[in-house]
């Protein structure tokens, strides 16, 4: 049994690994890549770590995975699995890794060649990621809380062999990518800029900065999508480009500007509400009007109002049908706008070209949003062009 913790940047080494791991799959070996499951690339099968294992959303120190049960197809598949690749592992709470560890140990007791006394049931696991990037998000947590939640605070980390992936690439722009990766690395290590006490002014590279602009939104859109109006209807144009924003407010500004450039007629979708049964029993729902609920904007929940046009590119923000590739992050181009359904063409993942329907979906905000009242919002679950990460 081997647990490997590999660290690499989004550069030549990462590109090399993305191509290399594909060669690990043959008729007698199965590997799982959680990052590709999450992004629905489906090299082997496609789902998320929570979707496959059934990791609880509100996970605790003693949680297990209800999705891993004896005498199921999943159990047989996990018995045959030779390698598990868990990318972006540093972003996961340690409990999300410890729960599958307990469940895999349980089912490996039923296997003739199992090793239930070993971590992760004796499976070879590669945890990939970079601790310089985002660590587990702990709402209102202190530094100590975040460190405690990190995977390197888990007892499983003692069984890991830490490896740093540094491999060359055959790309023509390898030197440029390598220099940029070194610059990003210097920022993560705190070596960029002058000696400081934690705050420092950095000089950004000229090719990643838009200078001297009177309309920042228009400049960003023009830089990301040059000749946008001429390319409307060309799915290839939107396949590998997106605008990322830190807040909902900026997302809305960018989306409204891009939609204004599309010549087709705009259609507005409004959500409907229903308070949860728990709130109805307590009477709290009577304190909050529909007008107030309409103003609530939070991560993981679509706004009360969604504006769309035919020809607009949208991105799914929830898993709808994993077998058809309709998952969180899937991009589509709108072709028809009906009252209760959106027809679109998939332009990303393994189902490019498929024509699909996106229905209205009822969603409830998670407990982490800390809203004063729990309610259900029913609306088409997608975003336009720009998404907050």
Question: Are 262 and 135 found together in one domain?
Answer: no
Count CB atoms within 10 A of the CB of residue 357: 14
User: Residue 20 burial (CB < 10 Å; 0-12/13-18/19+)?
Assistant: exposed
* In-domain check, residue 215: no
Which of 164, 179, 205 is the last residue before a domain boundary?
164
Question: Are 383 and 269 found together in one domain?
Answer: yes
Coil vs helix vs strand at 332 = strand
Strands 266-270 and 124-128: unpaired
* In-domain check, residue 224: no
pLDDT mean across residues, the chain? 76
- β-bridge mates for residue 356, sequence order: 344
- β-bridge mates for residue 3, sequence order: 125, 160
Q: Domain residues for 373?
A: 229-388
25: confidence class by pLDDT, cuts 50, 70, 90 = very low
- Between residues 297 and 385, the one the model is more confident about: 297
* In-domain check, residue 139: yes
Structurally, how many domains does the chain consist of? 2
Question: Are 119 and 262 found together in one domain?
Answer: no
* Predicted local distance difference test score (pLDDT) of residue 42: 34
CATH number for the domain that contains residue 18: 3.40.50
Coil vs helix vs strand at 178 = helix
Could you write out the DSSP letters of every residue in 18-74? HHHGGGG-BTTB-EEEHHHHHTT--SS----HHHHH---SS--TT---TT--TTSHH
Coil vs helix vs strand at 187 = helix
Question: Are 156 and 247 found together in one domain?
Answer: no
Q: What is the pLDDT of residues 38-75, one digit of tens each?
A: 333 333 344 555 556 778 878 899 999 887 888 788 88
The answer to whether residues 164 and 14 touch, using CB atoms and an 8 Å cutoff, is: no
Question: Is pLDDT of 153 > 90?
Answer: yes
* Predicted local distance difference test score (pLDDT) of residue 252: 86
211: confidence class by pLDDT, cuts 50, 70, 90 = confident
* Predicted local distance difference test score (pLDDT) of residue 198: 65
DSSP H helix total and E strand total for the chain? 12, 16
Distance of CA 249 to the CA centre of its chain: 20
Count CB atoms within 10 A of the CB of residue 111: 16
Which of 122, 144, 164 is the last residue before a domain boundary?
164
* Ramachandran assignment for 329, one of left (phi > 0), alpha (psi -120 to 50 degrees), beta (any other): left
2: confidence class by pLDDT, cuts 50, 70, 90 = very low
The answer to whether residues 331 and 40 touch, using CB atoms and an 8 Å cutoff, is: no
Average pLDDT over every residue of 283-304? 72
Question: Are 160 and 37 found together in one domain?
Answer: yes
Question: Is pLDDT of 229 > 50?
Answer: yes
Average pLDDT over every residue of 367-371? 59
- Extract the tokens encoding 219: 């400049």
Portion of the chain with pLDDT greater than 90, in percent: 13
Question: Are 234 and 370 found together in one domain?
Answer: yes
Average pLDDT over every residue of 168-197? 72
DSSP character at residue 143: H
Question: Is pLDDT of 333 > 80?
Answer: yes
* In-domain check, residue 237: yes
Q: pTM of the entire structure?
A: 0.66
Distance of CA 273 to the CA centre of its chain: 27
Average pLDDT over every residue of 161-175? 67
Which of 117, 141, 164 is the last residue before a domain boundary?
164
* Ramachandran assignment for 283, one of left (phi > 0), alpha (psi -120 to 50 degrees), beta (any other): left
Question: Is pLDDT of 297 > 90?
Answer: no
């Amino acid at each position: 049994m081997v647990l490997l913790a590999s660290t690499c940047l989004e550069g030549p080494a990462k590109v090399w690994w993305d191509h290399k791991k594909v060669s690990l799959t043959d008729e007698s070996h199965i590997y799982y890549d959680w990052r590709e499951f999450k992004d629905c690339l489906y090299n082997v099968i496609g789902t998320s770590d929570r979707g496959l294992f059934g990791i609880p959303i509100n996970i605790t120190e003693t949680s297990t995975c209800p999705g891993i049960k004896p005498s199921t197809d999943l159990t047989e598949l996990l018995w045959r699995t030779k390698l598990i690749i868990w990318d972006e592992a540093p972003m996961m709470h340690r409990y999300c890794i410890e729960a599958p560890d307990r469940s895999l140990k349980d089912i490996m007791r039923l296997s003739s060649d199992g090793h239930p006394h070993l971590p992760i049931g004796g499976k070879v696991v590669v945890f990939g990621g970079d601790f310089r990037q985002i660590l587990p998000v702990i709402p209102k947590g202190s530094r100590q809380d975040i460190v405690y939640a990190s995977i390197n605070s888990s007892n499983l980390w003692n069984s890991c062999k830490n490896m740093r992936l540094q491999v060359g690439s055959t790309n023509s722009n390898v030197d440029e990518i390598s220099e940029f990766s070194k610059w990003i690395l210097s920022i993560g290590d705190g070596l960029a800029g002058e000696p400081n006490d934690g705050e420092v002014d950095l000089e950004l590279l000229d090719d990643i900065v838009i200078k001297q602009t009177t309309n920042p939104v228009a400049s960003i859109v023009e830089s990301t999508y040059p000749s946008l109006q001429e390319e409307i209807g060309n799915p290839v144009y939107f396949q590998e480009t997106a605008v990322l924003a830190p807040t909902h407010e900026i997302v809305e500004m960018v989306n409204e500007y891009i939609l204004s450039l599309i010549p087709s007629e705009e259609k507005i979708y409004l959500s409907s509400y229903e308070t949860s049964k728990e709130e109805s029993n307590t009477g709290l729902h009577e304190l909050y009007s529909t007008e107030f609920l309409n103003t609530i904007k939070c991560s993981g929940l679509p706004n009360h109002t969604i504006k769309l046009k035919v020809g607009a590119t949208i991105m799914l923000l929830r898993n709808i049908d994993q077998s058809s590739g309709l998952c969180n992050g899937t991009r589509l181009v709108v072709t028809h706008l009906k009252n209760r359904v959106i027809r679109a063409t998939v332009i990303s993942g393994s189902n490019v070209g498929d024509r699909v329907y996106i229905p209205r979906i009822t969603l409830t905000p998670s407990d982490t949003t800390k809203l004063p009242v729990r309610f259900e919002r029913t609306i088409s679950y997608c975003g336009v062009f720009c998404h907050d990460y």
